Amino acid sequence: MNQHTKKIKNSSIIFILLITIGVFVTLGSLSGNYGYLTNVQKTFSSTTLSLLHRLLPFLNKQANDPSILEPIASTPEVKCSSKKPILGLNESKDSTLKRLGELQQICESFATDTQMIFTNMPNSEINASRLGLAVATKLKEFSKFGVRPLVIVEPVTEWGPIDFEEFNSGFYNKWIESFFVKLKNEGVGQGDMGIWVPFPEANLPYWNRGSSKPELFGENVMIYFKLLRKYYPTTERSILLNSVSYAADDENWEDGRYTSLLPYVKTLKPGSVDSFGIQGFPWRSPKSEKNPVYIYDPLEFINPSLAVEAAKFLHVKKIWINTGTFRAKFTNDPGELVTEPPNLRAEILNEILNQADILKKDGFDVAINIFAENKTETNEATDWSYWGKKVTEADKHSEIFKDFISKLSEKEIGFWFFDR
């Protein structure tokens, strides 16, 4: 996934963190999230400040300086869970499931039974049939191994990004219906469907939002879910918004803001979705930056108070977080390349876990989806992975990931996973 906070104004990390405190207090007060805000205030000294204290030794050096690659003790006795692994994943025809099989080898146990997959939208009858066949094949393969798909439906067709206002007119409805009919005809049952998430991260610039207002997101989601539930009436419905929002006419990532997500969900009727997802990733400046910015605190880059506000408005008790940590960034430019030691990734993962635990104590059913794909060969130029192309390339990064999953299991916080 792309990190969308890179254009936020440069300043020192201390200044960012202090400003962030004020933002959270203000947002929490205005939105009435007093339970969550109280928890944040109680734990602030042990999260943001302690995180800053622990990370300063790393931030005072380039992150790719070998001198800070301190050894991490191997923990072979630690397993990700007490459950037995899902059998046969390594023989699956699906590359996503094979990666889950590799994770189970690293975990020496069961890791998860929920995995994110991606699809897009049809723009013709032929395309609806072809897309339906591809998705049906994947859904049935997941069902064969008892893995629940988290289906991210991106607003993209063979033409390119869908115009949000055109979608709102019903222009795509007949093709979407044909897509679901194809799933039915291919033998996809209700129990194979998992969780569906249309129009993900609709508050980001890379979609074709035109001049649409945030409210159009909720309307478009309702259109899609109405068509979905016509054919699969009990499918779990969810939405995913980014923690940083951008105006519809901002195509250059200039003015992202951590602001209330209510404008995007207020056209969704309470009860029209079953869970709420929020997305946020850490970020840092490239190597050549004279005054580097480090956005490493999940209290900032995930901003859970925004998720709480939206979830309460929607009357849902399930919140899931789409996040990750990077091994390397700016991989397409050797002069700008930065790499992160496993120790630093471990610190960030632990703070992500702490924020999820606060949400859980506030009464929410919480899951964390870790995006772990190596995207060094894409425009994103970021490696989010925790091991190489094969499980034999597992290393200290794999060890800290294994430990993180184990801690989630102990705290009964859901763990979901994406890699391919």
Q: What's the structural domain count of the chain? A: 1
Q: Alpha carbon of 93 to those of 85, 145, 182: distances in Å?
A: 18, 11, 21
Residues 220/223/229/234 CA torsion (nearest 10 deg): 40
Q: Indicate whether 398 belongs to any domain.
A: yes
For residue 352, what are the contacts with CB-CB under 8 A and spacing of at least 6? 298, 302, 321, 323, 368
Q: Indicate whether 207 belongs to any domain.
A: yes
Instruction: Write out the two tokens for 375.
Output: 């995207």
Q: Indicate whether 8 belongs to any domain.
A: no
Q: Indicate whether 5 belongs to any domain.
A: no
State how far Cα 110 lies from the chain centre.
Answer: 21
Is residue 337 within 8 Å of 330, Cβ to Cβ?
A: yes
Q: Indicate whether 248 belongs to any domain.
A: yes
What integer pLDDT is reported at residue 76 of this predicted model?
55
What integer pLDDT is reported at residue 367 of this predicted model?
98
Q: Indicate whether 1 belongs to any domain.
A: no
CB atoms within 10 A of CB 129: 18
Instruction: Write out the two tokens for 16.
Output: 């960012």
Instruction: Write out the two tokens for 411.
Output: 């705290």
- The answer to whether the Cα torsion of 24, 25, 27, 33 is positive or negative is positive
Q: Indicate whether 276 belongs to any domain.
A: yes
Where in the sequence is the domain holding 263, given as residue range(s)?
13-418
What integer pLDDT is reported at residue 270 of this predicted model?
82
Instruction: Write out the two tokens for 311.
Output: 């979830």
**pLDDT means per 10 residues in the chain (420 residues)?**
42 43 42 42 44 50 40 61 95 95 96 97 97 98 98 94 94 98 98 98 82 89 97 98 86 81 93 96 94 94 96 97 97 95 96 97 97 94 94 93 96 96
Q: Indicate whether 401 belongs to any domain.
A: yes
Instruction: Write out the two tokens for 19.
Output: 């400003």
What integer pLDDT is reported at residue 400 of this predicted model?
96
Residue 370 sits at φ, ψ, to 5 deg, of -95, 120
Query: Would you give the DSSP letter of residue 245?
Result: B
Q: What is the CATH number of the domain that holds 104?
A: 3.20.20.80
> Distance (Å, rounded) from C-alpha 298 to C-alpha 41?
15
